[in-house]
Structure 1
């Protein structure tokens, strides 16, 4: 099925492990409005997206199959080429975060494997090239003085950082959402942004998730993206639609 048909009510979902008729789920779509659109990317960091990252053993196959690294990179480039505000919502853990007295399942895992660890909020010692650092090819696009790098979210969603404030201060009302990982931070950001009154489309191949025996985080996320978001696009469709804002 061509990308031109992705926004029809007869779409077949092409992300995930299978192809499912999609006619039963409405597709509100998203008509982009110049000056009110922002691209939001969660956790474009080595621990998720690099073969040296601590989660690569469970997310690497999905990242590779989706071409997630390349697709996120394309969204970054589009933001710069088309002058679309770009927001990064990162994930960092500092020593005081490891003193939490209770955690959910994946919170515990992230702490145990020292995911996204930094020595302190004002200390960047050992940061360059670490699991908490940006993927190398993204650095010129994130560190250009124009990208909004939000304060870190601490669990999965943006309730604990300043993303919503940054979006509202730029009068952003529509969000093109991507990043890592699909069924955790991306989905949590989607849910909170919807509750905050934003229109949100998810770029389904610019994300990925853990896939382990009996648990497919990506498949779970794609289902919920379709149930929740205004639309679900491929990177190619996002590029085509965003280019029309010029």
Structure 2
């Protein structure tokens, strides 16, 4: 059936039927990808975060769908759709998603490990966090590459926030500008504008790479283009792939 999406009544019918299709595909046909779409539907259209949380959780636990593990972990982290924020639960679901090869789940698990979370129940482990960021970066998660670059720019150690000053030898992850540049370039090539900005700065200063003002300008322009595009698309709903 074709719908006239300029008609308010037909839009309502379309949304109603969409929900019915997702419920059938999830509960009757037991398709994990459709269950995830149903949770997205409940979240984005119905604004029923508690039901969405239940569907994401079940789809992760029962059907091993990585994107749903990622989403439920995010709910646990923020307290959305659940009783309260729970960092250990969030960590566990990010870990489940990462083990199911969901790159952004690896990224979120890593961030919890490399950040000081005193009192939140997640023990800092920058070396394990680094391994997870490397896994996510290798799986083409540009934000993970960007954070890896930042770790090498600042250096990091357990018990300190990333970038705290200290002796180089005391760092679990020593400063290494060559590696910082490598990961910044990878992040930029994956479309991360912050990485492109860092690449530009490193070419400007000759940090971790030979100074090259022409390339510095090239990557600066690329970062600005990405920023402009991101601003244009800020309100775009990425429905069907899991909302950020």
Tell me which interval the TM-score lies in, with the shorter structure as reference length.
under 0.3
TM-score (normalizing by structure 1)? 0.24
Structure with greater helix share of residues: 2
User: Which of the two has higher C-alpha Rg?
Assistant: 2
Given the two structures, how large is their TM-score scaled by the length of structure 2?
0.24
- Higher strand proportion: 1
